[in-house]
Amino acid sequence: MRAGTGVVALAVTADMPMFELSIACEIFGTDRRDLADPWYELRLCAAEPGRTRTQNGFVLHTPYDLEALAAAGTVVVPALPADAVLSGAPVDPRLLRALREAHANGARIVSLCTGAFVLAAAGLLDGRRAATHWMYADVLGARHPRVRVDPAVLYVDEGDVLTSAGRSAGIDLCLHLVRTDLGAEVANQVARRMVVPAHRPGGQAQYIEAPVPRSGGDGLAPVLQRAIEHMDQQLTVAQMACWAGVSARTLVRRFHDATGTTPLRWLHAQRLARARHLLEATDLPVERISRLCGMGTAGNLRHHFTRAVGVTPMEYRRAFHGRSPLAGSSVSSARSCR
């Protein structure tokens, strides 16, 4: 038996979302001894053994108590309810003690999605890099400043403590555990049976909504709109300042007050947002999209897009392209600005 196989204990709590819980049950709880023998032994554990009601009224049979975590080779903490995360509701101290004891006994501690908040409350993420759902990454960092939250990755492997990003990223992390324990071929077979990728490129940055700038205050709204309309051109701060009828220095100051960033950084973010939209909603070639976004060449767009989103434009299109009223249509370039 390779390291990491054996007992996988799931820490089940009341009102826990079923999605992340079901990920762990599917990957570790389904008997796949035809792929590797022995397979994992899954144990559902709760502070009050018996029946635990999860989100949406599902009731699970949880025959093990939290003391069983200490005897497991791997302990998985699925997600917390969103209300509990946002309200900062305290985690059951019995669960925190059980996690610390399991870790001290050499167990591999794993969290899925917002389960990272439980690990952080137990002190297991102090000084470590960690992932959670991008919507709650700032909350985790503010609530637990000793945790180095990475909002862009699908999962983080710190050896004895592993954390995943939001929702389906739990599949990526659990398959990573299988790959670590039993090899790539077994992990690939499990992924194939689940009809999911064995390994997804990039990180969760590709799933984060493009930021919408705050409305331009101090008379900047027309400047922002004009910049968006002429995004296919090479714009400068001096040109935008001319549109606003102010000096470049004044524009930079007002721009920061209105949007929280500089004119060129804001413009760069808008170019990437347009690229994402065109990749999702049209069949335009990447070269054409790069010109419409003011990125120049396809190579330049590829460089900046990959750096910001974590995947190439073509990988992003394969993941998110959907037929819409714009699909297949041509997009006219913005009117020339003089």
How far apart, in whole angstroms, are the C-alpha atoms of residue 41 and residue 19? 20
Burial class (CB in 10 A: 0-12, 13-18, 19+), 306: middle
How far apart, in whole angstroms, are the C-alpha atoms of residue 40 and residue 284? 47
Q: How would you list the strands of the sheet with 108-111, edge to edge?
A: 41-45, 7-11, 74-77, 108-111, 161-164, 155-157
Which value, to the nearest 10 degrees, does the dihedral of the CA atoms of residues 264, 267, 272, 277 take? Answer: 180
How far apart, in whole angstroms, are the C-alpha atoms of residue 107 and residue 8? 10
* Torsion sign across C-alpha atoms 111, 115, 116, 119: negative
DSSP secondary-structure letter at 88?
Answer: T
Q: Distance between alpha carbon 322 and the CA centroid of its chain, in Å?
A: 21
Q: Which amino acid, residue 139?
A: V
Known catalytic membership, residue 337: no
DSSP secondary-structure letter at 105?
Answer: T
170, 202 contact by CB (below 8 A): no
* Torsion sign across C-alpha atoms 9, 11, 12, 15: negative
Find the catalytic residue in 25, 113, 174, 293: 113
φ, ψ at 10 (rounded to 5°): -100, 125
State the Rg of the chain over Cα.
24
How far apart, in whole angstroms, are the C-alpha atoms of residue 98 and residue 49? 14
How far apart, in whole angstroms, are the C-alpha atoms of residue 259 and residue 239? 18
Residues annotated as catalytic are 113
